[in-house]
Amino acid sequence: MIRQQRRMFLVMVSVTAFGLAEAWSAEPGPMGGPPAAPNAAVIYWQAFASLPTLTDEERTKYDAVTKTSSEPLPDDVPTLLERFESPLNDLRRASSVPTCDWNLDYSAGPGLLLPHVAKVRELSRAGILRARWRFAHDENDEALADVLAVLKMGRDCGRSPLIISLLVNIAIETNATDTLAASLPTLDEKQLDTLLVRIKALPKPASLPNCIRTEEAVFGGWLEGQVAAAIAKAADPQKGGQLFVDALKAVGFFDPQAMDQDAATKLNELTVDDVRESLRLLRADYQKLIAIAELPPTERKKQWEEVDARLAERKTMKNKNDHVHLLSTTLLPPLSRVSEREESFENRNRLLDLAIQIQRHGRDSVTIPGTVEYKKTDGGFELSLPNVENGEAEVLKVGVAK
């Protein structure tokens, strides 16, 4: 018996040793152990962890200098930037790591934690501030590296197929491209060539249709699971109203106490089948939204308006049909606003690409599309392109007015 145990022990030790030797022989990590797959998210989190807690005075100053991208910077900005040295070093380090996996727990449904999103936004402000300071002091290579690191982080955030991640990426890129465009005239040919290549190599953010698909799964799928579990326990299939209220409250979007008495009474009359139907309608509405988001911007605008009008009408809760649509009216995001921002973001990227080429090769050597307006300005030039969805022109100002 003892010999058998000893033999088994030796076999286990041999197998373990063989496995470790195989793993370590592939490519040793820095400490001689198995190599870890590089993940930019891990480096970003190191940056977030070392973000400084600013004093009230520093915060006021920081907010003031990061509010605009065109105002001249005060002389004491380096003191402020010193506080961000460690996180900004990590930001630059992460910019050379292509993979970024935030390891989000989508199974948490609406409770999905997104602690990185606000931190990404916060760190980007510091990165852009340092780039502006460096551009203003002729440190163009370093400034470019800072802006590109910020753009990469924004895209790394926007790669998660969630509307909030997409919106944060768009906001970051808008600020970063403003800074970049203001300094384009100070860049030399090599820097402009590098910039164009690096921008094209940035990871692509998730598309709006994909974001809607994910949110359908996160909200709709999660809710279905919750409701199914509640239905299994429900004693009376005719009493779906409370189950419905509980489901909506679980999502966190709904305050039944804010409903008027009539609407609350009608809600209580719903059956379990009505709840099932509401879930089916929610899924169907998500599919309609995906189909609209996949249309070109010229066709989207009218469709969003129709969806918004229909949902607003149902929110009045006049009849039972409106109540059965309560999941859709409560949960569906205001996608027309997201779609407007996405179009504006895409147009801005087109303008930036064009602006770099104009700066690099000269106005006369670049074919400017008919929809884009070129205007010479005091400090450089201005490009504008009309956004179909919000009816406003997307404007990129190249150079700073003297």
Q: Which residues of this protein are in contact with another protein, per CB under 8 A? A: 48-54, 59, 110-115, 117-119, 121-122, 162-164, 167-168, 171, 218, 249, 251-253, 255, 257-258, 333-334, 337
DSSP state of 255: -
Q: How far apart are CB 110 and another protein at their closest, in Å?
A: 4
- Residue 214 Cβ vs another protein, minimum distance, rounded to whole Å: 10
In the complex, minimum distance from the CB of residue 255 to another protein, in angstroms, rounded to a whole number: 7
Tell the smallest beta-carbon distance from residue 333 to another protein (Å).
6
H or E element at residue 376: strand 373-376
Structure-token pair, residue 64: 């003031």
Non-local CB neighbours of 153 within 8 Å, separated by 6+ positions:
40, 44, 91, 94, 95, 120, 123, 124, 127, 172
CB of 240 to another protein, least distance (A): 19
Which residues, 6+ apart, have CB-to-CB distance to 291 below 8 Å?
A: none
Nearest distance in Å: CB 39, another protein: 20
Q: How many CA atoms lie within 13 A of 253 on its CB side?
A: 17
Residue 204 Cβ vs another protein, minimum distance, rounded to whole Å = 22
Q: Which amino acid is at 386?
A: P
Query: Exposed, middle or buried: residue 329 (CB in 10 Å: 0-12, 13-18, 19+)?
Result: buried
Going by their DSSP bridges, the two strands 373-376 and 393-398 should be labelled as unpaired
Q: What is the signed CA dihedral for 284, 285, 287, 289, rounded to 10 degrees? A: 170
The pair of three-digit structure tokens given for residue 174, joined into one six-digit string: 């808008």
Q: Which CB, 164 or 195, lies closer to another protein?
A: 164
Closer to another protein by Cβ: residue 181 or 218: 218
CB-nearer residue toward another protein: 292 or 332: 332
115 vs 237 by CB, closer to another protein: 115
Kindly tell me which of 81 and 372 has the beta carbon lying closer to another protein. Answer: 81
Nearer to another protein, 173 or 382 (CB): 173
Q: Taking each helix axis from N to C terminus, what angle separates 208-215 and 335-361, rounded to the nearest 10 degrees? A: 150
**CA–CA dist 211, 166 (Å, integer):** 8
Of 124 and 179, nearer to another protein (C-beta) is 124
